[in-house]
Amino acid sequence: MRRAGLASVLLLAAFFSFSHSLLSQPGALTVVSKDGRRALATTVQNEQDFVALDDLASMFQLTVREDALGVTVAYKGKTIVLTVDQPLASVSGRLVSLPATPIRNQARRWLVPAEFISRALALIYDAKLDLRRPARLLIVGDVRAPRVQVRYETVGTGGRLTVDAAPRAGNAVSQDNDRITIKFDADLLDIAANGLILPAQTAGQGIVQAVRLADATTIAVDLGSRFSSFRASTQQLDTATRLTIDFTAATVAEAAPAPAPGATPAPGGAPSPAGAAPSVPPPPDLSALTQTPSSIRTIVIDPGHGGDDEGVKGPAGTKEKDLTLTLARRVKAAIESRLGIRVLLTREDDHRVPIDDRTAMANNNKSDLFISLHANASFRPALAGGSIYSAAFEPGAAQAARALAPERVPAIGGGSREIEFVPWEFAQTAHLEESDALAKLLEAQLHGRVPLASRPVDSAPLRVLESANMPAILIEIGYLTNPDQERQLASAEFQNPFVQGVLDAIIRFRDMLDEKRRPAANGAPK
């Protein structure tokens, strides 16, 4: 994993093999179609997987004809010609390369490399053929078999399970006693082998004991004694669905074993011997009931640009999309390890994310804070320094957003209630005061640590902020068009104090929000 400071990381990315006897043949490919599952035998020659042409002919209704020059494979009038001693196939006149030459074994059976299926046969067959060699899986036709990657990591005193399914696949998460199940809307999963067992140091944490396959489309998460609760959220990426499950650990008191039968709790917490006079239990601690929960539980960090949108490119080749992603990962790791706050990134790798999808992710996950990271550019190479922006709107925009009449919608349990609707593009208007306060706090924490522009705090009509329904800022970390600053921004000497400044600003902003909420929670006027 790329997240620094996490106690342990588990990456699971392979295929699970079915337990059915038909599909457990060693060395076989599992052929999956809407009609069922079959095994296609393979043999290894020179470290290369081969399949027999007559097995393919039987499975896919092919006609195989041998002549002096080689072998011809036909399907519904279309042909593939294989030439002896040549790693090539002529598919309806088009030459296709193969990783190895077709061979004839001692039993006089023609063998072709497994890639013959995807490189040649797929071109003439009337159903999609998807060969997944690492998984030893061959998908035939319209079968939903998303590739699934599972990662587990400790975050503060809790843990996080991240499950990526590509292509996108819906899922349903439920808990049954000491087990959480993740049911995918698919025909099967292309995932890690049957025993998705966590490493010893992670299992010892006591929150999650094992991650395994319950059936062809269900992942089971076995919970440990320190598990307290979980929260699941789903994010739609460009080509994948990401499920994130955050686990909360039980406190020592919650995880303590129950007293033995016949024993009564003593004032100090230890059980009294059976038959002893019962002691008076201490009064319950109700302080937790009067504490106001933290105002910040989820933060979304937006690494600007990505994929074919590289953003600014410095004279030495530093790309804005790479720099923002690096910093976003470092900020995420610092917040999670120091504060235990859930942090989501709008992208965790190099792919394009539409602007509106970035803000939508923050809104859909009920984020309490949104921070977008960018690098600046100028025609003047000497221009340098970072800036922090909040959103700017035309005069009267806030009033226009509130001018919409509320609508009455049905309420659970009967009746109805009024819902105020705010146009998407005006969602930030309700949070401008707090966004401005965050920008000023960040400027104060970065001052003296990293170079800042002459006017470091400003506002602008930035689309990525306008739709954020929470305090939101955009940080231009510096100018990549300045050769000296380009080198600086990519260095640890800049990134370490920058990350620390962001962390300190979030702590102060959280404390400010908590202080504002505390009088209201105690019944006093604000």
The Cα 71–Cα 64 span in angstroms is 7
- Domain spanning 1-17+145-252: which CATH class is it, in words? mainly beta
What residue spans in the chain does CATH classification 3.30.457.10 cover? 29-135
For 501, phi then psi, to 5°, come to -65, -40
Q: Does residue 378 register a pLDDT over 60? A: yes
Q: Does residue 346 register a pLDDT over 90? A: yes
The Cα 77–Cα 410 span in angstroms is 61
Tokens 């105020």 sit at which residue? 420
Q: What is the CA radius of gyration of the chain?
A: 30
pTM: 0.46
Residue 181, pLDDT score: 93
Q: How confident is the model at residue 194 (pLDDT cuts 50, 70, 90)?
A: very low
Give the length of the chain: 526
pLDDT 10s digits, 151-163: 888 887 888 888 9
Q: Does residue 183 register a pLDDT over 90? A: yes
Angle made by CA atoms 78, 79, 85, in degrees to the nearest 5: 165
Q: Does residue 522 register a pLDDT over 50? A: no
Closest CA relative to residue 472, chosen from 393, 355, 390, 378: 390
Beta bridge partners of 523: none
DSSP per-residue string spanning 449-511 = TS-EEEEEEEEE--HHHHT-SS-EEEEEEEETTSHHHHHHHTSHHHHHHHHHHHHHHHHHHHH
Cβ neighbours for 21, distance < 8 A, ≥ 6 positions apart:
none
Average pLDDT of span 251-273: 49
298-409+416-521 CATH, one of 3.30.540.10, 1.10.3720.10, 1.10.287.610, 3.40.630.40: 3.40.630.40
Q: How confident is the model at residue 407 (pLDDT cuts 50, 70, 90)?
A: low
Which DSSP state fits 143? -
What residue spans in the chain does CATH classification 2.60.40 cover? 1-17+145-252
Q: Does residue 15 register a pLDDT over 70? A: no
Closest CA relative to residue 155, chosen from 300, 328, 6: 6
For 97, phi then psi, to 5°, come to -85, 150
Closest CA relative to residue 391, chosen from 401, 383, 378: 401
Question: Residues 78, 60: contact at Cβ < 8 Å?
Answer: no
Residue 304, pLDDT score: 95
Tokens 């640590």 sit at which residue? 449
pLDDT 10s digits, 209-223: 888 888 888 999 988
Residue 396, classified by CB atoms within 10 Å of its CB into exposed (0-12), middle (13-18) or buried (19+), is exposed
pLDDT 10s digits, 220-252: 998 888 888 888 998 888 788 899 999 888 765
Residue 193, pLDDT score: 45
Cβ neighbours for 141, distance < 8 A, ≥ 6 positions apart:
33, 34, 127, 128
Q: Does residue 399 register a pLDDT over 60? A: no
The yes or no reply on domain 29-135 and CATH 3.40.50.261 is no
For 252, phi then psi, to 5°, come to -60, -40
Residue 268, pLDDT score: 45
Angle made by CA atoms 129, 133, 136, in degrees to the nearest 5: 90
The answer for 235, left when phi > 0, alpha when psi is -120 to 50, beta otherwise, is beta
pLDDT 10s digits, 20-33: 333 334 468 889 99
The Cα 112–Cα 104 span in angstroms is 9
Which DSSP state fits 319? B
Tokens 């720099």 sit at which residue? 323
Give the CA dihedral 90, 95, 100, 101, nearest 10 degrees: 40
What residue spans in the chain does CATH classification 3.40.630.40 cover? 298-409+416-521
pLDDT 10s digits, 446-464: 999 999 999 999 999 898 9
Residue 60, pLDDT score: 95
The Cα 93–Cα 74 span in angstroms is 13
Q: Which of 52-66, 219-233, 371-385, 415-429 has the lowest mean pLDDT?
A: 415-429
